[in-house]
Amino acid sequence: MKDKKEKLLNEMIAIYIRDGVPIGSESLKLSIDMKISSATIRNYFKVLVNEGVLAQPHISSGKIPTNSTLKSYWKKNIDIYDCLNINSIDKIDKASIEHKIFCNIKIHKQERLQKIINYNDKYSILVFDNVEAILPYTRHLHDFLNELLYQDIEEIRSIAKSVCANELYNRLDSIASAKIYNFGFEELFFIKDLDLILKITNGDIFYTLRNGFYFDLFPDGYMGILQDIMIDNNCGKMFVVGGLKKDYTSFYQQIAS
């Protein structure tokens, strides 16, 4: 019974996200590939409403998933730990317009820290794949950087910001070559905090958040998703923001290679 109820719920949510209207037992029966009666569906609906999984907007209308249900649904159906391969920026632009989902992309050429040179206890020279950085030497900083060997410059910069190693952060910031792209800016207009909008659009969000889902950052009914991407053989990050009712499944399918 539990498996059937869960399958029925997942089917119902997918249809609701696609069509955007409350779903009745009879319409759900006609839309799914399951041998089940309308009466049985109504019984499941009643249980799910009592559990707070579904809601009924009006007495005579069908059912809709609650926001908490949609949060759980997306957490199960979007793998934030999978590095998403994208072969075209244009795909993101088009998908953002079609699905009315904001998307922020940060792309950088990968630069791994290959070695750290101690120059006469005066300077630490950070040697990356194609660039170098020089900082005043301290034993603490030198030991700290040795723990970060072979990590990417963006990861090191993020760590430096988190531990308030400001001089290291600023130096890496000056040599890192990252590009920021914003798509669907108007989809952020539901946010009243202008500082948050700026933090998202200028890319600061990538240095303060880790990969994951973000619900509390936004008003109820909205979410953000942060994850790694590869685009044109370059590493990057993607921060997606939109309503819980948006079709993220279709959005991801459209932008993926």
pLDDT digits (tens, 9 = 90+) for 167-176: 999 899 888 7
pTM: 0.79
Shared domain check, 184 and 144: no
Q: What is the CATH number of the domain that holds 42?
A: 1.10.10.10
Shared domain check, 87 and 34: no
Shared domain check, 43 and 6: yes
Shared domain check, 119 and 104: no
Query: What domain range is 203 assigned to?
Result: 79-109+178-255
Up-side HSE of residue 222: CA atoms within 13 Å toward CB?
A: 16
φ, ψ at 126 (rounded to 5°): -95, 115
Shared domain check, 166 and 190: no
How many other β-carbons are positioned within 10 Å of the β-carbon of residue 21? 12
Per the domain annotation, does 38 fall within a domain? yes
Single residue among 175, 190, 223 that ends a domain in this structure? 175
Shared domain check, 197 and 214: yes
Shared domain check, 93 and 60: no
Shared domain check, 141 and 34: no
Per the domain annotation, does 74 fall within a domain? no
Low-confidence ranges of the chain (pLDDT < 70): 1-2, 59-60, 257
Q: What is the CATH number of the domain that holds 84?
A: 3.30.450
Phi-psi region of 99 (alpha: psi -120 to 50; beta: other; left: phi over 0): alpha
What is the predicted pLDDT for the residue at 207? 82
Instruction: Give the span between the Cα atoms of 37 and 81, in whole angstroms.
Output: 39
**Structural domain tally of the chain?**
3
Shared domain check, 201 and 149: no
What is the predicted pLDDT for the residue at 235? 84
Residue type (1 letter), 117: I
Per the domain annotation, does 71 fall within a domain? no
What is the predicted pLDDT for the residue at 221? 97
Per the domain annotation, does 13 fall within a domain? yes
Shared domain check, 192 and 162: no
123-155 pLDDT per residue, tens: 999 999 988 999 999 999 999 999 999 999 988
Shared domain check, 140 and 46: no
φ, ψ at 57 (rounded to 5°): -60, -40
Shared domain check, 44 and 25: yes
Single residue among 150, 175, 200 that ends a domain in this structure? 175
Distances (CA, A) of 82 to 10, 105, 212: 22, 16, 11
Per the domain annotation, does 228 fall within a domain? yes
